């Protein structure tokens, strides 16, 4: 198993540009999520999905869109990049049931700089 | 929503000593508390977790304790080794609703050889 993969590893954007961060998992996990990590602030949830076709907002959703057309893929779209979106982005997935949450597996991250 | 506070932000110990990292949470409905280790340039990796029906859990040199009444939980690493040097994050969540993790701000642990 490759686990959770993310592309690209690094990206530099100009203010106003758009792009998609890719995330894929091969563990057949229903639950997938996107976090951003900023210095001294831990990880904060952007969007999450409990299954194909179902997405919802997290703690810091503004400026980002997601979709979940398959179980494996959960791309994150930046609509119009701003310097405040400079961060490291992590995708995570986990098995889940209605009653329990299980270990979340994180990808290696995408380091994004917006100039 | 949930709020998780983590202390200390940095911790330096001598090899072989113990290290303790503490977290408090605000949502009394939270019932799952994982700890993650993050090495430089990598994603967080789960090292141990505990659920609210258990007060303590051990895995070799690592242990976690949970005090539901006081709403705090702690990570204990014994016989520290240089490879334990990393950033450690605590997190909390509940089994219902978003089931999304709320993270503490992290502790940078440095183990001096």
Judged by a CB distance cut-off of 8 A, whether residue B34 touches chain A is yes
Q: Is the pLDDT of residue A48 over 90?
A: yes
**Res. B99 pLDDT band, cuts 50 70 90:** confident
Interface residue B97 vs chain A (CB under 8 A): no
Residue A66 has what pLDDT? Answer: 97
Which residues in chain B (60-79) have CB-CB distances under 8 A to chain A? none
Q: Can you give the pLDDT at residue B98?
A: 66
Do A74 and A9 form a contact (C-beta atoms < 8 A)? no
- Identify the pLDDT of residue A99: 64
Higher local confidence (pLDDT), A26 or A103: A26
- pLDDT above 80 for A50: yes
Residue of B nearest to A37 (CA): B105
Structure tokens at B41: 């340039």
Residue position matching structure tokens 């995570």 = A92
Q: Say which residue the tokens 């334990």 belong to.
A: B84
Where is average pLDDT lowest: A42-51, A66-75, B81-90? A42-51
Q: What is the pLDDT of residues B7-44, one digit of tens each?
A: 999 999 999 999 999 999 999 999 999 999 999 989 99
For testing contact with chain A, the best of B99, B104, B107 (most A CBs within 10 A)? B99
Sheet with strand A19-25: strands edge to edge: A4-7, A19-25, A76-78, A64-66
pLDDT interval class at B84 (50, 70, 90): very high
Q: Evaluate if residue A98 carries a pLDDT over 70.
A: no
- Do A91 and A34 meet the contact criterion of CB atoms below 8 Å apart? yes
| Res B26: pLDDT | 96
Residue A55: band (very low, low, confident or very high) from pLDDT cuts 50, 70, 90:
very high
The pLDDT score that the predictor gives to residue A84 is 96
């Amino acid at each position: 198993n490759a686990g959770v993969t993310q592309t690209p590893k690094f990206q530099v954007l100009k203010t106003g540009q758009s792009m998609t961060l890719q995330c894929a998992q091969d563990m057949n996990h229903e639950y997938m999520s996107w976090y951003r990590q900023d210095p001294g602030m831990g990880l904060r949830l952007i969007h999450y999905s409990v299954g194909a076709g179902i997405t919802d907002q997290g703690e810091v959703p503004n400026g980002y869109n997601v979709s979940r057309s398959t179980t494996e893929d959960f791309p994150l779209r930046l609509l119009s990049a701003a310097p405040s979106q400079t961060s490291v982005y992590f995708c995570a997935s986990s098995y889940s049931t209605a009653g329990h949450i299980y270990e979340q597996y994180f990808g290696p991250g995408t380091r994004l700089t917006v100039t | 929503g949930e709020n998780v506070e983590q202390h200390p932000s940095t911790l330096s110990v001598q090899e072989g000593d113990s290290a303790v990292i503490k977290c408090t949470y605000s949502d009394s409905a939270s019932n799952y508390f994982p700890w993650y280790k993050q090495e430089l340039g990598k994603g967080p990796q789960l090292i141990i977790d505990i659920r609210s029906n258990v007060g303590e859990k051990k895995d070799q040199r690592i242990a976690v304790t949970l005090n539901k009444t006081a709403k705090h939980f702690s990570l204990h690493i014994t016989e520290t080794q240089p490879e334990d040097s990393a950033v450690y994050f605590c997190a909390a969540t509940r089994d219902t609703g978003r089931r999304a993790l709320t993270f503490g701000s992290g502790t940078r642990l440095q183990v001096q050889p």
